[in-house]
Amino acid sequence: MGTDDPEVIEAAIDLGYRHLDTARIYENEAVVGAAVAASDVPREELLVATKLWVTDLAADDVGRSARESLDRLGLEYVDLLYVHRPRGAYDPAGTLPALDALVDEGLVREVGLSNFSAEDLETARDHLETPVAAHQVEHHPLFRRAELVEDAREHGYPLVAYSPLASGKAFDLPAVREAAEAHGVSPAAVCLAWVLAREGVVAVPKASSEPHLRANLEAADLRLSDAEIARIDAIEREEELFPE
């Protein structure tokens, strides 16, 4: 969630949002935890995710870092714990079994990966007993990796698209703008609809106000034509917002 105001997150939950994406490096665990605590929605209906940063991925640090995240969230468990990037202290043979141990302890329900290459994913599966529950990557009209979508489909987990609006950089693209005009919606809605048109792909857009929260939900009902999707697919310009 793109806000430091727990009331905005409470509003999101009230509107029907159930997937709350956090990370230590985002510095939003405490605010999300406050909103979860204040909400009338039962905890078991929410999917709360957080991520271990690259400095906390040594086998001996995984458990400590996860517990610190739980303390900031004020929760007894997280539904999904990601490896934020396979970099820094990441070692598949040590990091991933430490995540399995957290699942065995009940502190983590499922394990996710983030910003992995197809090769990294294959290596991770060799060391992780818990099935990969999700892979979160940058994915929008200006940056996508077909091989990661295919890996998600082949192995039966969702690809979670972060920055699906490309921080607004895709809004002026002719293919996006013309589709928005044709449907009477915003370019942001078109970007989200394009992401969600892929089987097995879900999105975690940021939202800092209730109007944006409502607009994101409405975009889920937008159906682009095959021709509109193909035009966006054919965009040649590439811009990665969060390179390694």
Token couple for 122: 């294959």
C-alpha to C-alpha distance for 211 and 234, rounded to whole angstroms: 31
Containing H/E element for 152? helix 146-155
Report residue 103: phi and psi, to 5°. Answer: -65, -45
Any idea which residue has 């458990």 for tokens? Answer: 63
User: 3-class DSSP state for residue 138?
Assistant: strand
Q: How far is CA 127 from CA 51, 91, 92, 183, 239, in A?
A: 19, 10, 6, 46, 32
Asked if 26 is an active-site residue, the reply is yes
Residue 127: CB atoms within 10 A of its CB come to 15
According to DSSP, residue 241 is labeled: S
DSSP string for residues in 76-94:
S-EEEEEE--S-TT--HHH
Look at the alpha carbons of 239, 190, 157, 85 in this order and tell me if their dihedral is positive or negative: positive
- The catalytic position among 17, 26, 77, 82 is 26
Active site residues: 26
